[in-house]
């Protein structure tokens, strides 16, 4: 494909919530020449918080500040995750449009370019919601959390299913090895998603994910791009 610099394989990542751990993750991606899309909730940027996990443990869930968005995510892609992270399938149509389009417009101002991508908050079963977003917002693609386990292109970019989740360490490396060994005569995509704060929870360690980044990077037959660069 011309948009992939003549290559038939493309790798892209997608990380949600716009948390401060993204800074460390981006340093890792930049070190290995990898690209990611980061899905942000613009109405809660700058807020501090924590999430429970395990046995009385907590992980920091502090959002990046609005004024830092352009600098932190430079070289990658900022995308919609709604204003406040509601489950869109529980909302009426007008509220869905407001949550999505206002987030898109606010993030466009902060990033300095038109934001056109999205990831559904909470994943969701996004049937009717996907159609509303397609018809009534400026979003051009939106990611679910339904893993396909394969690399095939998909017709419906408004319910785009990722290949896999990065916190499944065994599955992640198996997908990576399969993709590296893949010989193909048609376009194929490895699309991995997650949340950077989960590495502080050791769902996969920072060190182990860096091993994956090193393992998958620098291949002459792979195009490394943001979601927008790969999908549109």
Q: Rounded mean pLDDT of 45-61?
A: 96
Pairing type for strands 36-40 and 77-80 reads parallel
**Within 142-188, where are the H helices?**
169-181
227: pLDDT strictly greater than 70: yes
Provide DSSP, 82-106.
-SS---GGGS-HHHHHHHHHHHHHH
Check residue 157 and report its DSSP letter: G
- Dihedral of CA atoms 109, 113, 116, 118 in degrees, nearest 10, equals -60
Does residue 39 register a pLDDT over 70? yes
pLDDT at position 123 is: 76
Segment 54-69 shows an average pLDDT of 96
Cα-trace Rg, the chain: 17
Q: Which of 2-6, 147-151, 161-165 has the lowest mean pLDDT?
A: 2-6
pLDDT band per the 50, 70, 90 thresholds, residue 186: very high
Residue with tokens 């995509």, as numbered in its chain = 189
Looking up tokens 């918080």 gives: 49
For the chain, what percent of residues have pLDDT higher than 70?
99
Q: Over the range 17-50, which residues count as b (16 or more CB within 10 Å of their CB) and which as e?
A: bbbbbbeebbebbeeeebbbbbbbbbebbeeeee
At residue 2, the pLDDT reads 75
Statement: residue 127 has pLDDT above 80: no
Residue range 25-39: mean pLDDT, rounded: 98
Q: What is the mean pLDDT of residues 45-53?
A: 97
Stretch 88-93: mean pLDDT: 94
In this predicted model, which residue has the larger pLDDT, 54 or 71?
71
Give the mean model confidence (pLDDT) for residues 73-90. Answer: 97
Across the range 85-106, mean pLDDT stands at: 96
In this structure, the strands spanning 164-165 and 36-40 are: unpaired
Residue 17 in this model has a pLDDT that exceeds 70: yes
Distance CA 36, CA 140 (A): 17
Instruction: Write down all domains in the chain, each with its CATH number in brackets.
Output: 2-231 (3.20.20.370)
Structure confidence at residue 124 (pLDDT): 67
What is this structure's pTM?
0.97
Task: Please give the pLDDT value at position 3.
Answer: 84
Q: Judge whether residue 125 has pLDDT over 90.
A: no
Checking if the pLDDT of 1 tops 90, the result is no
**What's the confidence (pLDDT) of residue 128?**
82
What would the mean pLDDT of 81-97 be, rounded to a whole number? 96
Query: Region 172-188: what's the mean pLDDT?
Result: 98
Q: What pLDDT is stored for residue 191 in this prediction?
A: 98
Q: Quick check: helix, strand or coil at residue 78? A: strand
């Amino acid at each position: 494909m011309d948009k992939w610099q003549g290559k038939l394989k493309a790798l892209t990542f997608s990380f949600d919530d716009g948390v401060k751990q993204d800074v460390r993750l981006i340093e890792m991606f930049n070190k290995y020449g990898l690209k990611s899309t980061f899905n942000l909730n613009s109405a809660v940027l700058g807020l501090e918080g924590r999430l429970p996990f395990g046995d009385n443990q907590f992980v920091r869930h502090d959002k990046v500040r609005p004024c830092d968005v352009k600098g932190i995510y430079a070289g990658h892609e900022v995308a919609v995750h709604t204003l406040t992270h509601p489950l869109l399938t529980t909302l009426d149509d007008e509220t869905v449009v407001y949550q999505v389009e206002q987030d898109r417009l606010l993030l466009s101002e902060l990033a300095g370019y038109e934001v056109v991508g999205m990831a559904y908050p909470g994943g969701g079963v996004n049937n009717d919601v996907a159609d509303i977003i397609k018809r009534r917002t400026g979003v051009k693609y939106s990611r679910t959390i339904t893993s396909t386990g394969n690399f095939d292109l998909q017709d419906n970019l408004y319910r785009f299913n990722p290949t896999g989740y990065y916190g499944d360490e065994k599955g992640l490396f198996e997908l990576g090895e399969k993709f590296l060994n893949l010989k193909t005569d048609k376009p194929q995509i490895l699309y991995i998603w997650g949340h950077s704060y989960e590495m502080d929870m050791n769902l996969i360690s920072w060190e182990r994910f860096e091993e994956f980044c090193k393992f998958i990077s620098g291949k002459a037959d792979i195009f490394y791009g943001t979601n927008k660069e790969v999908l549109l």
